Every structure is written in structure tokens, then in C-alpha cells.
A = this chain, B = another copy of it.
Amino acid sequence: MNTTSSLREDARAAADGIDEARLWRRLAEMAQIGAIPGNGVNRPALSPEDITARALLIDWAQARGYGVAVDGIGNLFLRRAGAEPDAAPVMTGSHMDSQPKGGRFDGIYGVLAGLEALEAMDEAGVRTRRPVEVVAWTNEEGGRFPPCTMGSMVFVGAKPLEAFLDVRDNAGIRLGDALAQTLAATAQAQPRAFATPVAAYVEAHIEQGPLLERSARTIGVVTGIQGMRWFNVEVSGESAHAGTAPVSLRRDALREAVAMIAALRELAADPGDVTRFTVGRVLVTPNSPNTVPSHVLFSVDLRHPDQATIERLGAAVEPLCRAHAAACTVRVTPTLRDDPTRFDAGVADLIETGAAALGLPSMRLPSGASHDAMYLSRVCPTGMIFVPCERGVSHNEAENATPADLAAGARVLAASLVELANR
């Protein structure tokens, strides 16, 4: 077992500098931006609400004298200088966008815990060798512009920005246009290139599952992220009059989409309840009660921790949809392909050690959700810190967490960042 003596003095000082009340107050202030009934938040990526949240974050950073930079997809970087100003920074962060009916903690907690860690270092007089940066990644949710984890994906070079500029939201707005508006609103930030070196990355997040709460542990040491496949399935038929067109002659896009969804659900059926299968988005055209639908777009989200299984499930989606296209045509577009991720063992050990040194009960666990840390793990040693959330509820207005647990996560984060930034 690790002992308290395993934390260096400056790391402990930074952890002790975490101000639970300040962190909670800022979470509450951010939750006002895009607030919806039921204590929820609707802050879509690259929306006016996102722009407002960015402005507030920049205000807080500038009050501390942190550098502010932004890259071509809008990822926002707040930099606390290090003794070696040109050394690759240690990064932390998460995202500020939310699901359409999302909660007050998913994403924004990781950004504000990072800011809190920087301020704790200031107040403890800690000087690190490397710079430490807090990043707010653009469009982690993909709720408005699929796919998710877009900002980190583009930052590390897994996909070029150009691949996403023509993605449209449910209202038909182009990502490129919304991005231009967002960038124009933060014109004071320094431009930052993609794929700049990163020494290490640690992301704090609510668990979004029930394991920590059930096990009465405060800190989750995340071992990795399950594999994931996303698809857009577009079914094209022909619109017709609901009263006059004989059913046998119709090319009804919804009828065939329903058959495809039912077949995909069969494919993903899993007695062990490990496979995750979700159709979350359906767009029907023209969407009028007395017209046979000419076009349906639906999303498929498939996840499994095992590489061979996610491979097999993902490969079956297109043939299965084709098999259920009768009078209509179908186009299946893969929009995300993430294999299972294992985080760096050294970073996990560091987090576990830090939690123990601070007297916080921890456990190792995998992540069911995907996170920007997945893409950062491709370019640097990466880890994640989970804190409990009530009943594991997330992507829901009722999402909740306690001030004490959130502060505990920020303490472990601050200690880990100082350790990493001095290596």
C-alpha cells in the first residue's frame, strides 16, 4: 500500500489548496448558462450558450494571468507557466458542451476542477517545471454535431478538421458556420496549432455509472474505455399520400427503418448485458402525419469492452441494414470507430497513490462512456479520475454529485498534475 509519505510536499500543498466552496460556486454559475427545467443544462457545442461559457472561463483565467489560446476547432487552452516555459505542458481538462437535456457536471466538472487545481497551485506558491494547461475540448458530446470527442480527435490528428466542417445539426446548421461564429467570439485568444506536444494528460469526470457510489469509494482510477462504433443510417424511399397510396406500392422509409432498428437490436442482444446498443437520434422527412416518409436518418451507437466483439458487431451493421431494405435504398456511414483503450499504467498508479496519500478511498474501474482522454492516450501518458454521481444517472437533467466528492477529485487531480509537471 502507498502511504502518505509518497506525496511530495508541493503536490500535497496544491491538493490542500483546493477550495471546495469556490469550485461548487463556479459549477453553479456555469449551470446557469443554458439552464433547463429539472436542474439540467442544454449547452450545445458551438452555440450561443457555449460562447457565453467560454467567455466566463476566459474571464476567470485572465484574472489569474493565465495564457489563453484557441486552436482551429475551438479547443480552448488556459496555461499556467512553468519554470521551463518551452517544455511540453501537462494537460488536464474536459468539455463545456452538454447533451440537449444534460446535467450540471458532465464535462464542465473536469474543466473547473482543472482551473481550481491551477489556482490551488498559485495559492500554495507551487512552481512546476513544466507548464500546466487546462483544456476545454470542443464538442465532446456530439449531441448537436456528431460524432462525439471531435475536438480531441482533431487535436491529436486522428481526423482532419475538414472532415467535419459540413456536418449539420438537426436544424440544418453547418458545423463550419457555427465554428466560425465561436472563433470570432474569442478573437483575443492566441492561435494554437493542432498536435502540439503534450507531456501527460489527466482528466477528472463524474463516473456516469453507479460503481463508486455502491462501493462507497470517492476516487475512481480509470483503467480504460470500451470500444465504440457509430453509424448514420439513411433510408430513402418516396413520399406519398397516406390516404390514397396503396400500402403494397409504397416506398415507406420509416417502415424499413423500423425493421432495421429491430434487427440491429437483435444483433446486439446480450444475455450478459455488457453490449451497449442505442438508437438515440431519428430524423424523419417530411415528418407530416398524412405523408408516407420519404427519408429517415437514424444513429447507431454500439459499445463493448472486447476488441473482437466490437469488431464483429460493427462489421454486421451495414449488411443487416441492407438485408432489411426492400422498396427503399439505404446508405450506412460509419461516423466513429474507437477501439478499446487502456490508459497508462504509470498515470493510474500515480492517481491511486495520490488518493491514498490524501486519505481518499479509491478503486480501479473501466469507463463505459467515452472521453477526450481516449484520444489524448494516443499521444501521451494519460489517465482519468472519476468521482461518484448519484445513482449513476447521467445524460439526464437529474445528474448530481456532492461538493465534497467533487473537491476530493480536484485534490487528487492537483496532486497528480504537480507530480507530472515536475518530471
Q: Which A residues form the contact surface with B (CB < 8 A)?
A: 99-101, 141-144, 146-148, 170, 207-209, 226, 228, 230, 238-248, 252, 254-255, 258-259, 261-262, 265, 268, 270, 273, 275-294, 299, 301, 303, 367-370, 392-396
Contacts and interface: CB of A to CB of B under 8 A. Distances in A.
A255 B278 CA distance: 9
A293 B100 CA distance: 11
Given A100-B287, A275-B247, A395 B242 contact: yes
Chain A contact surface mostly: loop
Number of copies of this chain that the complex holds: 2
Contacts of A303: 242-243
B288 A143 contact: yes
Contacts of A286: 99-101, 143, 280
Contact of A288 (B100, B273, B368, B394): B100
Contacts of A396: 238-241, 294
A247 B261 contact: no
Nearest to A226: B243
B276 A282 contact: no
- The 10 nearest A-B residue pairs measured at CB: A100-B286, A244-B368, A289-B299, A143-B288, A242-B278, A243-B369, A209-B244, A241-B395, A291-B395, A243-B368
B143 A289 contact: yes
27 contacts: A100-B288, A101-B285, A101-B294, A142-B288, A144-B288, A148-B289, A170-B287, A208-B243, A240-B394, A243-B367, A243-B368, A244-B392, A245-B276, A247-B268, A254-B261, A254-B279, A254-B280, A258-B261, A258-B262, A262-B262, A280-B287, A280-B288, A280-B289, A280-B291, A282-B284, A282-B287, A289-B301
